[in-house]
Amino acid sequence: MIRDLDGPLKRLLALICLVEVADLSLVQVITPLLPFYADRFGFEQSESGHIIAAFAAGALVAAVPAGMLCSRVGVRATVVTGLLLMAGTTLALGFAGTLIELEAARFGQGVASSTAWTGAIAWIAGAAPRERRASLLGVVFGVGVAGILAGPALGALAAHAGTKPTFTGVAVVMLALAGLAALRPSVPAARQSVRALLGGLRNREVAFGVWLFLLPAFLLAAQHTVAPLRLDELGWSVGGIAAVYVCAAALQSIGSPILGRVLDRIGRLLPLTAILLAGVAVSVLLALPWSRGQWLFAILVVCAVVCYAAFYLPGSAIVADGSDAAGLDHAFGFSLANLAWAPGTIAGSIAGGALAESAGDEATYALLAAVCLGTLVAVRLAAARPAAAAARS
């Protein structure tokens, strides 16, 4: 599939994959460092949550400005800006000497991540032929999973070798990547107004694509809130729990390019319907008492993570398709999608934890099944309307 691309598109695809790896490594790098920073700065568990939330807050704040930047100066300049911000905020993370400086660095990394991601995904979505768009996005998402795996490894290295040398080295890599992006041919800026951005949600396809970003953020956050604790109760060690999620990431990496090709060959509806059915099924299975076997529950958790994360790819393709139909700059479409991620993550974490505490894990998984089922019903009803209209005519 990649071999038959022309040279410029192939080189652009490689660049965007590297940007995605860098982006996702920043998201995950803090997790193994939390105990290190807790010992260093003496903060409580609640303040660990503030550090994690700071990144999401930065991404949320930058979502719309990133799209506006793309529209004003172009996707190449936006990606370069995001990577330069990544380098600077990563260096700040390495040299943070207080809790406030640490939180500020993570907030800045969230801003950088949002900026680079919006520009990068809009760049490849705009450059790809429509009939190959989902396939190329699938490759980007599949390779990007390496960042999910690299982030914790970088965090662990920083804890042992020191944050200053480790994150200085990472910042140098980010600067080199910014240099590579700057050497790519420029892409004309769309120069659309903010009104066009807000009007994008009036397009049903764009709005539904945005929902397909909020949905997996909600599902994954709720699942991540309750599943690790249940795995611990069933006898899984910290390393074993990490291995469960590494397996899920590996399957995502393999499955994303395959799913992308399927979306391009048979359209968006049937694969999305299958993913929604799988989401309902795995959520129901996790809610059943007989799923509490040590290995069975772990396998179901892997299936759930892979299934929930799969919504991002059709969501991206649908956002790009809807942007084309609405005459909306791709960067604006993906700004709206990026804007949905943080609220979905926050709502999923709160709802998942609150339900599990008050009514048990089963209630949380029942909610996830209901959300998937409700989306499935909405998809099928929306698909039935054009068919009914055609039959009447």
Is 89 in the same domain as 237?
A: no
Residue 8, Cβ density class (10 Å: 0-12 exposed, 13-18 middle, ≥19 buried) = exposed
Is 83 in the same domain as 218?
A: no
For 147-173, what is each residue's pLDDT tens digit?
A: 888 887 888 888 888 899 999 999 999
CB 167 within 8 Å of CB 84: no
Banded model confidence at residue 191, pLDDT cuts 50, 70, 90: confident
Its pTM stands at: 0.83
Is 160 in the same domain as 212?
A: no
pLDDT score for 327? 84
Q: What is the average pLDDT value for the chain, to the nearest integer?
A: 86
Task: Provide the CATH number for the domain around residue 279.
Answer: 1.20.1250.20
For 269-282, what is each residue's pLDDT tens digit?
A: 999 999 999 999 99
* Structure token pair of residue 135: 């396939």
CA distances from 171 to 140, 241, 309 (A): 22, 30, 28
Is 26 in the same domain as 51?
A: yes
For 292-318, what is each residue's pLDDT tens digit?
A: 788 999 999 999 999 999 999 999 999
Domain boundary among 142, 176, 191: 191
Total structural domains within the chain: 2
- At a CB cut-off of 8 Å and minimum separation 6, what does 157 contact? 166
Is 92 in the same domain as 36?
A: yes
Q: What is d(CA 167, CA 165) in angstroms, rounded to the nearest whole number?
A: 6
Banded model confidence at residue 388, pLDDT cuts 50, 70, 90: very low
Residue 269, Cβ density class (10 Å: 0-12 exposed, 13-18 middle, ≥19 buried) = middle
Q: Which domain holds residue 295?
A: 193-393
Percentage with pLDDT > 90 across the chain: 43
Q: Is the predicted pLDDT of residue 373 greater than 90, yes or no?
A: yes
Q: Is the predicted pLDDT of residue 124 greater than 50, yes or no?
A: yes
Q: Is the predicted pLDDT of residue 1 greater than 70, yes or no?
A: no
pLDDT score for 83? 97
pLDDT score for 13? 92
Residue 1 in 3-state DSSP?
coil
